[in-house]
Structure 1
Amino acid sequence: MYNMLVIGGGSAGLVTAIIAAGLGAKVALIEKHMMGGDCLNVGCVPSKAVIRSANIMVQIMKAKDFGITGSSGKVDFGEVMER
């Protein structure tokens, strides 16, 4: 028997389940797709990784302004996405 049923394992559902379990409730969580929801798997978190790579590329492009030369600035998009 459960005290709480959480439908959806996205960020809100996971936090709700964790808090309820921490307070002593026996919690069941149902998720149709991947745990963590869109934000964790295809939205916020992955896009931040791509944005970080883009920011590093901008710094490489500006390196000459600081007397640094020889940076290729070549991007392997597959490796960026793998990260």
Structure 2
Amino acid sequence: MVRKHVLVTGQVQGVFYRDNCRRVAGEQGVAGWVRNLPDGRVEAVFEGEPPNVDRMLAWARRGPARAVVTSVDVSEEPVEGLSGFQIA
């Protein structure tokens, strides 16, 4: 298991980024959460098996169809054993 903390910059609010992130995380069996930040970025935590988290990171770099992702900052964190995926 791994845990990645993600900050996504670009046109990522108002484009259904969070809802799509939750759906894709469910498909990948990845736990965690996603939320909008006041500065326009999206913050997320992905926790799960490394290949599944890697697929989430690849998705985060693209986002949904209307998103324009300009950068994604990823840091590793200790696994907390989360279950489910929530929009925070």
With the shorter chain as reference, the TM-score category is under 0.3
Name whichever structure is richer in helix by fraction: 1
Q: Which has the higher strand share?
A: 2
Flag the structure with larger Rg: 1
Higher relative contact order (CA 8 A, sep 6+): 2
TM-score between both structures, scaled by the size of structure 2: 0.25
